[in-house]
Structure 1
């Protein structure tokens, strides 16, 4: 088994928290996803930040395209590792 981690990029904290909360219901994930704020390079303004949802997938069973579409429901996307 490999340690697969998906990174979903969201525009704001509310969207990131909504995605994190809805993952288990939509995809049956068991691990609690991590919500992380990432400041954009060179930006000090809190408004200029992306929010990441880190999703563990040790079994490698989550479909990348489905996760991308799911994040898109909140104006986000799945980042390729």
Structure 2
């Protein structure tokens, strides 16, 4: 899962990642409200990416992490 602060960032990341790494798509965008928060602004957006059958190579993970850092996001396993 790729975690981003807002929907616009999540959509931009999904679009750009699909162009860079089409073999990873399609991607699902999911709104993840923070526990105990009622305000819609207190939500993260997730870009769900399925792991390849062979698993992730360290080079691809590093590329994704760098790309996410440019968008103030991060990667979480799960």
Report the TM-score range of the alignment, normalised by the length of the smaller protein: 0.7 to 0.9
TM-score by length of 1: 0.80
Instruction: Give unpaired runs (5+ residues) of structure 2.
Output: none
TM-score by length of 2: 0.83
Structure with greater strand percent:
1
Number of residue pairs aligned between Structure 1 and Structure 2: 75
Cα-Cα RMSD:
1.6
Supply the distance in 2 between the matched residues of 1:21 and 1:55 (Cα, whole angstroms).
Answer: 12
For 1:43, what is the secondary structure of its paired residue?
coil
Supply the distance in 2 between the matched residues of 1:10 and 1:33 (Cα, whole angstroms).
Answer: 14
Look up the match of 1:72: 69
Aligned match for 1:32, one of 21, 26, 39: 26
Q: Detail structure 1 runs of 4+ shifted over 6 Å in the superposition.
A: none
Look up the match of 2:52: 58
Structure with greater helix percent:
2
